[in-house]
Amino acid sequence: MKKFSVPALVLGLSLVGALVVSSEAIAQQVQAQPAPTATLKPGGAASNLKLTMVRGTVNIPASVRTGQFASLQCNQFSGYASSKAQTSCDGNSGFCVPQPKWTRHGQMSGNISEGHCNYAIIVPASHAFAVNGTTDYNPCGGSGMTDVDTSGTGGWMSVPAGETKTNNFNITSLKAACIN
């Protein structure tokens, strides 16, 4: 078996800074294990695998894609699903904002010049969630993001195990949210 040493592990902790843990604080060596592999054959058991998904078409009209957003392509957008169930805060945690228990993302595809993109997201079966659109495009040249406004997202929904739900929606505006 091949062995290698771990030089350093860097853990980023949001809101409190970063913590660096040296290799002396963890095991000196880690054994590399080969990843398990499988061969899938057409018509085999894996072809019966049914994923639980939400998919759809997202309308992104040319009127939204102007100015600094004119060159955006479908692959710069993602469909985003977030659970209705939220984390809880105990009374001793100080500042705490409940967060979705799970989130899932799926990069959009298609030709944006046609005015729409497509998305598909694998989601946990029978768990309530909402879908939205997002992008990691930063028009600010520094710290910032793009605020994506949507309509027609369908509210809370769930998908039974092994089924696919279609949920189309619209991106109605893109705005630069710069912190300079």
**For 112, phi and psi rounded to 5 degrees?**
-65, -25
pLDDT value for 44: 57
CA distances from 162 to 12, 50, 80, 122, 143 (A): 36, 5, 19, 10, 41
- Quickly state the pLDDT bin for 142 (edges 50, 70, 90): confident
DSSP strand pairing (143-151 vs 116-122): unpaired
pLDDT value for 50: 83
**If DSSP codes are grouped into helix, strand and coil, which group holds residue 89?**
coil
- Quickly state the pLDDT bin for 67 (edges 50, 70, 90): very high
Query: Can you give the pTM of this predicted structure?
Result: 0.70
**Start-end of CATH 2.60.40 domains in the chain:** 50-179
pLDDT value for 21: 29
3-class SS shares of the chain: helix, strand, coil, % to 5: 10, 45, 50
Rounded distance, CA 118 to CA 121, Å? 10
- Topology at the third CATH level for domain 50-179: Immunoglobulin-like (2.60.40)
